[in-house]
Amino acid sequence: MSRQTSSSSDGPSSRETAAPARGPEFLQVFMARRAQMEALVQRRVGCRATASDLVQELFLRFWRRPQVLQEPGRYLLRSARNLAIDHLRSEQARQRLLEALPEDEAPASAEATLQAEQTRDRIEQALRSLPERTRHIFLLSRVHGRTYTEIARAMGISVSAVEKHMMRALLACKTHVDGTAD
């Protein structure tokens, strides 16, 4: 009885067209069809390197998820074709997204980066010149996102006092950024 079970489901002599998607049989079929799959994918995607990468991805998919395939050669070719189509679809979607981006979101130039760094340095200089309590209130508000009411409660002062400290800090920052300080 055990002989019948092993020969009917596991043995290669029962069906020469069935091969598990992991093991020597699958590897032989894959290697025999690899060039054909790469040519098929290359015709679709137009790039030899991409075709090679996609066929390698196909191999990994089957290797990670073993299954018995009735006609592994034909199944691999169909899967390669489908993978090429999926790749083209994702490339088209990526291209549409890139075209939809506004052009003003281009990477900053070296000049713009330098200007932003100088502005940041001036703001840091302005904050260093503030009294400690004013600087602390400014940082709680602008960096940590606290409301004036929360700051007033935490520091034991009125909301009006927080507003005055904030006005002083913002004026100092504006003065330093505009270059009218010192």
Domains, the chain, with CATH or none: 16-100 (1.10.1740), 110-178 (1.10.10.10)
Q: How far apart are CA 11 and CA 15, in angstroms?
A: 8
Greater confidence, 106 or 126?
126
Q: How much is the pLDDT for 73?
A: 86
Greater confidence, 65 or 148?
148
Predicted confidence band of residue 67 (pLDDT cuts 50, 70, 90) = confident
Residue 157's CB: how many other CB atoms inside 10 A? Answer: 15
CA proximity to 155, closest of 124, 133, 177, 129: 133
Quickly tell me which residue has 């998607």 as its tokens.
Answer: 21
Predicted confidence band of residue 109 (pLDDT cuts 50, 70, 90) = confident
Q: How much is the pLDDT for 156?
A: 94
pLDDT in tens, 25-40: 888 888 999 999 999 9
Residue 179's CB: how many other CB atoms inside 10 A? Answer: 9
Q: How much is the pLDDT for 5?
A: 39
User: For the CA atoms of 129, 132, 133, 139, what is the dihedral angle to 10 degrees?
Assistant: 70
Predicted confidence band of residue 4 (pLDDT cuts 50, 70, 90) = very low
pLDDT in tens, 45-60: 899 999 999 999 999 8
Q: Does pLDDT of 16 surpass 60?
A: no
Q: How much is the pLDDT for 92?
A: 85
Mean pLDDT (whole number) for 154-164: 94
Q: Does pLDDT of 120 surpass 80?
A: yes
CA proximity to 68, closest of 117, 141, 19: 19
Q: Does pLDDT of 12 surpass 50?
A: no
Q: Report the percentage of the chain scoring pLDDT > 90.
A: 33
Q: Does pLDDT of 93 surpass 70?
A: yes
Name every residue whose Cβ is closer than 8 Å to that of residue 141 and which is 6 or more positions away in sequence.
147, 148, 151, 162, 166
Q: How much is the pLDDT for 106?
A: 57
